């Protein structure tokens, strides 16, 4: 599954990444590459926690394993 993420450079350095399809799923990293790897881990974690707590209805339909991440730089 493809996930759209927003990569935002921070004034103090590094990047913050959010996933609109999974509100509250956020990560960061010192480099773009690190931030994108971290958000993949965060997506997996968010989905795991939602399933663990019986909140599968909060996972957008078709969302599951990460096939790719589509990046929008803000």
pLDDT tens-digit map of 13-57: 999 999 998 999 999 999 999 999 999 999 989 988 988 999 988
Q: What is the pLDDT of residue 27?
A: 97
Residues with Cβ within 8 Å of 20's Cβ and at least 6 positions away in sequence, in order, are 4, 6
Farthest-apart Cα atoms in the chain, separation: 38
CA–CA gap between residue 9 and residue 59 (Å, rounded) = 27
Q: What is the pLDDT of residue 74?
A: 57
Tokens 């599968």 -> residue: 56
Residues with Cβ within 8 Å of 32's Cβ and at least 6 positions away in sequence, in order, are 7, 15
Task: Give the three-state DSSP class for 27.
Answer: strand
Q: Residues of the chain with pLDDT > 70: what percent?
A: 80
Count: domains in the chain: 1
- pTM, 2 dp: 0.80
Q: Which domain holds residue 61?
A: 2-73
CATH code of the domain covering residue 44: 3.30.160.250
């Amino acid at each position: 599954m493809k996930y759209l993420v927003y990569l935002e450079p921070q004034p103090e350095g590094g990047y913050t990444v959010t996933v609109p399809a999974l509100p509250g799923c956020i990560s960061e990293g010192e480099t773009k590459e690190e931030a994108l790897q971290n958000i993949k881990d965060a997506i997996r974690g968010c989905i795991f926690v939602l399933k663990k707590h019986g909140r599968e209805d909060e996972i957008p339909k078709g969302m599951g394993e990460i096939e790719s991440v589509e990046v929008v730089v803000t």
